[in-house]
Structure 1
């Protein structure tokens, strides 16, 4: 892993899968952050949230712009591994019993139908709707009780940042097993409730423009926060020496 922008990234998809397999096979608990530009901005602006992200097993680089920044700052090349891709890879692998937390009943129903062709065993896995509450108000003991009884190994959490990372941090002490992964809008993408940007826009790193068109109120506010904090983030990183891998 390497630390950039105050986030401990694992850029190598094989290493990510290795970390997950090792944690699951050893019966460990923990959570993984799928760090997009919004999380990058929130980590910079909120010290408590930074600690939440830092306590994760690792963060994967969901932002296609972070590799561009690293190439400009350090002349190094690193890939990004988006949340939608790790979700598809792990569900399709058929190696794990999983739970899917977040979204409403309609989204979860559509998601189950959409991903069942990747892995028929998904039909018998838990899909749990969560109430609309602040992160501090969930009944974590009850949620963990259901998850522990179901024997799940990977727990997908789709509440959006920063709530999903806070949710995972609060839930962690109550879990007896399972690795949580926060995947933001991925349930909406694969259930068909929000269409993802076309591949050519993603290749040009302009998916955020498509998201703004689809959800202008939510995404404009988010993009303004990212844009406002980005100069300070880059200046702070530029002032550091290149980190060493850990």
Structure 2
């Protein structure tokens, strides 16, 4: 696990799954953030949200550009591990009981129908629509009782950033078991009812954001503008951090 752009990332996929398994053997619950460009931008503009993002086990890198930036600055090679990929990796592993929370009932129904094809065990798992309300208005003790009565190991949360990360941080103190993972648009991608993920060639060419702009222009253009506005500062700060660390190492 290493910190870049002020976020604690775990890039190694095997380590991600090993640490999930280790956490599930302990008492207490924790959470994993799936940090895309939106989270990177928001966390570096809002210290309180950055504390939430770094308050869990770690973040996985859902941005194809962050590994490029790290390569440019540090010469290190990392890979993206996006939310939809960890989602399907865990679904297909058939290792855990899971609960799926968030978004609309129509999306949840479509998601369940498609996931059963990947993992028949999903047919016996709960898909829970959370009411539309401010993040501070949820009844966290009641949600925790529902999750614990279910016995879920993995709690998937899809409320959109930054709401879903704050939701997990607020639910964590009430849970005695489980790993929460916020997967944003993954529910939509695999429900077959709304936005689909970009074709693989676009993903390989770092053009997934273009696909999403065409699907949700107003929402995605606003997000892209925010990211582009903060990117020069983030790159400059990271380059200075590299210089500073190299100077300390030489002393």
TM over 0.5: yes
Structure 2 partner of 1:142: 142
Q: CA RMSD in A?
A: 1.2
Q: What is the TM-score when the length of structure 1 is the normalising length?
A: 0.97
Question: C-alpha separation between the residues in 2 aligned to 1:83 and 1:28?
Answer: 23
Shift of 1:194: 1.1
Structure 1 partner of 2:240: 239
Q: What is the TM-score when the length of structure 2 is the normalising length?
A: 0.95
- The C-alpha deviation readout for 1:9-31, integer Å capped at 9, x for no partner, is 00000000000000012243100
Structure 1 partner of 2:166: 166
Structure 1 partner of 2:103: 103
Q: Which of 3-12 and 25-34 deviates more? A: 25-34
Question: C-alpha separation between the residues in 2 aligned to 1:173 and 1:56?
Answer: 12
| Secondary structure of the structure 2 residue equivalent to 1:8 | strand
Structure 1 partner of 2:221: 220
| Secondary structure of the structure 1 residue equivalent to 2:51 | helix
List alignment gaps of at least 5 residues for structure 2.
247-251
List alignment gaps of at least 5 residues for structure 1.
none
- The C-alpha deviation readout for 1:55-94, integer Å capped at 9, x for no partner, is 0101001111011001100111111111111000001101
Partners of 1:98 and 1:153 within 8 A in 2: yes
Question: C-alpha separation between the residues in 1 aligned to 2:218 and 2:129?
Answer: 24
Question: C-alpha separation between the residues in 1 aligned to 2:176 and 2:74?
Answer: 41
Runs of 4+ in structure 1 over 6 Å off: none
| Secondary structure of the structure 2 residue equivalent to 1:117 | helix
Structure 1 partner of 2:85: 85
Partners of 2:28 and 2:175 within 8 A in 1: no
- The C-alpha deviation readout for 1:98-140, integer Å capped at 9, x for no partner, is 0000111110000000011111110111111011111111111
Question: C-alpha separation between the residues in 2 aligned to 1:78 and 1:201?
Answer: 19
- The C-alpha deviation readout for 1:132-155, integer Å capped at 9, x for no partner, is 111111111111110011100000
Structure 1 partner of 2:123: 123
Question: C-alpha separation between the residues in 2 aligned to 1:233 and 1:161?
Answer: 20
| Secondary structure of the structure 1 residue equivalent to 2:8 | strand
Partners of 1:28 and 1:179 within 8 A in 2: no
Q: What is the aligned length?
A: 244
| Secondary structure of the structure 2 residue equivalent to 1:232 | helix
Structure 2 partner of 1:39: 39
Partners of 1:102 and 1:130 within 8 A in 2: yes
Partners of 1:144 and 1:174 within 8 A in 2: yes
Question: C-alpha separation between the residues in 1 aligned to 2:80 and 2:27?
Answer: 28
- Confirm or deny that 1:17 pairs with 2:17: yes
